[in-house]
Amino acid sequence: MTLQGGGTEPLGSTPPDVDRREVWLEEPLTTIDKPSVQPAEPELMVANRGATASAVAPDGDERLAYRSVFQRLFMRPEVGAIIGAVGIWTFFWAVSGTFGTVGQTFGWLDTAATLGIMAVAVSMLMIGGEFDLSSGAMTGAMGMLIIYLVKATGALGGRGFPLELAIPLSLALALGIGYLNGWMVERTGQPSFIITLGTFFALIGLKLGLAKRFVGQIQIGRTDEASDFKYFRPFFAAEWERNKHEFAQRDFWYIALVAAGVLISILAVCELWFKRRAEPKATGLVQFLVSAAVGIAAGIGLNVTDGVGANLAIGVLIALCIVVGLHGWVSWRYEPIGERGSVALDSTMIRRTVLGLALVVLGGVVAVVMDSKSTNNFVFPFTTQGVRVMLASALGVAGLTLLAMVSQAALRVNAASKFIATSALALGIAVIAATIYIASKAPKFRAALFPFLLFLAVLIFTWGMLASRFAERRAVAARADRLGNRMLALGILSVLIGLAIRMLFITKAELLAGVPPAKTSVRLLWFALFTAAMMWVLARTRFGSWTFAVGGNKEAARQVGVPAARTKTKLFMLVAFAAWFVGILVAFRINSIQANAGDGQEFLYIIAAVVGGTLLTGGYGSAFGGAIGACIMSIPLIGISSARWNTDWRFLIIGTILLLAVVSNRYLRTKAGAVRR
């Protein structure tokens, strides 16, 4: 009896025509004993778990649902962290008068730099399935060690070493401690949590004991007593004063790079999302180019004209250019949908749309009506003004959430319904933008948030329009995916370079206006370089692969010849290296160091790693996530003092962030159906 027996065959749960190549055997497999007969094979359920029931790929393996661009994006470990970082930044930007300024931004970035170098290294160790509780104490220990070595203490014979000796000596010791951590964990087979807890206390004791023994106090200085301090200072503590660097065309480059970056990113998402046409439609390209030209001209016009009326007219023109131009681009390259269907929202969806819009409008009314003259003060939440802001925000957010839910649900109906629902969402955002323009007195809200929200509304409307007119690509296309990913990377890079130019340079007008000085340091550069290097290591080297492997399934890795013990030991040494480097940075920054410097920071590193999407159990995560996690930690640290709140609240905020991140990361991952665990 063969399994291809037809309709009466025993494998009732799969259609008889699928995947015949796997149906094989000349012998009595059907009489296999019961234990091996599992009900419904699990991968059939994967297909049903996708966003839409119809998401099963038309070709290829029928058990794999095609994951849309956004689903694939949310599979990345760090995406949740990026959203969180933007949210927290926006919150402090809104509540604090100075948080968005360049000086403040450099402030939290600097905190993020030293935190982040460690968080990236700790993320990698955690991907490898281990912990290092001694990492925080180690940063302080290494900073101290450098200063001891260069210091003219009696114990060292009155003359210290030059930094050129102190730096490699301390590095050797740091790597030695890292090796010892790894060796003990591997040799004893004990959890690294316990082993490094031991190292942690040993280091704390050593630091305090030695400080008292040699200096008689816990404050140890000074790094600049080293004979060759001035040669090393540029590497570890060079500073960049913004007000000393004037760049006349700064704003041109800033706007051009950011605008180009945003445009390229949008086109990249189109490339990843839509299905390519067989024959490109040339008129679409013409439409795109004409719109782009008009849009650029309008942008220049915005710069030279003045007055509300002109701005409004040009704003509308730019919005039109976005809609028409993107439509042109997409119709040039991508396949239109044949059957769009007619609008068919069920009563729940209609109720929710109406309710959502009503809530948004009500929020606007509240913001206008409840406006009072009271100002920001300590009991702000209990003043009329506070209630107004909170009530209006809550209504707005609730309304938008409802509208977003409807637009999600409408995806499953048909293209026309999706368009209507998405337009309602865009309308809701536009109403909020209008509310801010009418009701807010804060100039930064009117100058920044208002146009941004309008732009967002236009984008969402355009996206709804495009997604309802053009076909989504529901199959893997390696070349399109590669092109799209590269464009996305290029777009993001362009935006970042634009922002960096804006932050690093100053214009004559700003100098004349008396913009407060702001400075940043080479630490930020090291942070970026280290993060990039570790991202590369994780993605492209054998060591990176092995890191994931020993964290994910150590036995399987060992089985195929991965040197598991050596990989883990190297990871401990990597953390020690990072701690050494951060120790030097700190010693150079403040020129002296406290004996308890860094103690307790190891938890911040672990939180940053977890917030960045790294799994506590190992095998999953990203270096970039760790870097973003460090930003999420440092934004509230600086933001709280910038908002003039009591800084003791920072622990509450960090704890809350950790809890939210754990829950939402898990939610995002299950939503994206990343893996079976």
Q: Which is nearer to other proteins, 39 or 309 (CB)?
A: 39
Q: Nearest Cα to 268, choosing from 90, 87, 539, 494?
A: 494
Closest CA to 315 of 303, 305, 324, 302: 302
Question: Which residue, 332 or 546, has its beta carbon nearer to other proteins?
Answer: 546
Nearer to other proteins, 24 or 452 (CB): 24
Hey, what amino acid is at 577?
F
Secondary structure string (H, E, C) spanning 360-377: HHHHHHHHHHCCCCCCCC
Pairing of strands 592-594, 219-221: antiparallel
Closest CA to 125 of 563, 675, 578: 578
Residue 518: closest CA among 100, 97, 106, 99 = 106
Minimum Å distance from CB 542 to other proteins? 5
**Residue 492 CB, nearest approach to other proteins (Å):** 20
| Closest CA relative to residue 97, chosen from 375, 373, 372, 513 | 375
Nearest distance from residue 620's CB to other proteins, in Å?
5
Closest separation between CB of residue 45 and other proteins, Å?
A: 11
Q: How far is the CB of 142 from other proteins (least distance, A)?
A: 23
Measuring CA to CA, which residue among 205, 175, 219 is closest to residue 579?
Answer: 175
Whether residue 183 contacts residue 199, with contact meaning beta carbons closer than 8 Å, is answered with no
Q: Residue 220 pairs with which residues in a beta bridge?
A: 593
Q: Which is nearer to other proteins, 11 or 659 (CB)?
A: 11
Q: Smallest distance from the beta carbon of 50 to other proteins, in angstroms?
A: 12
The least CB distance from residue 573 to other proteins, in Å, is 15
Contact 93, 506 (CB under 8 A): no
Closest Cα partner for 105 from 645, 635, 640?
A: 635
Cβ proximity to other proteins: between 33 and 279 the closer is 33
Minimum CB distance to other proteins smaller for 356 or for 544: 544
The CB-of-269 to other proteins minimum distance in angstroms stands at 19
Pick between residue 42 and residue 655 the one whose CB is nearest to other proteins: 42
Q: Residue 251 or 481: which CB sits closer to other proteins?
A: 481
- Cα 625 to Cα 185: distance, rounded to the nearest angstrom: 26
Minimum CB–partner distance for residue 317 and other proteins (Å): 43
Residue with tokens 């809530």: 359
Joined together, the tokens standing for residue 100 give: 């968005």
Distance CA 118, CA 605 (A): 6
Q: Which residues contact 592 (CB under 8 A, 6 or more apart)?
A: 147, 219, 220, 221, 222, 223
> Please, are residues 223 and 160 in contact by the beta-carbon 8 Å criterion?
no
DSSP three-state, residue 221: strand
Q: Smallest distance from the beta carbon of 485 to other proteins, in angstroms?
A: 11
Q: Residues in the site for other proteins, rule: CB under 8 A?
A: 3, 10-14, 21-34, 36-39, 41-43, 46, 57, 60-61, 63-64, 475-476, 536, 540-542, 545-546, 548-549, 552-553, 555-562, 619-620, 674-677
Cα(508)–Cα(48) distance, integer angstroms: 60
Segments in 155-249 forming alpha helices (H)? 163-188, 192-214, 229-237
Q: Which is nearer to other proteins, 101 or 545 (CB)?
A: 545
CB nearer to other proteins: pick between 430 and 574: 574
Least distance between other proteins and beta carbon 8 (Å) = 8
As given in the structure block, the two tokens for residue 123 are: 């993320």
Q: Whose Cβ is closer to other proteins: residue 72's or residue 446's?
A: 72
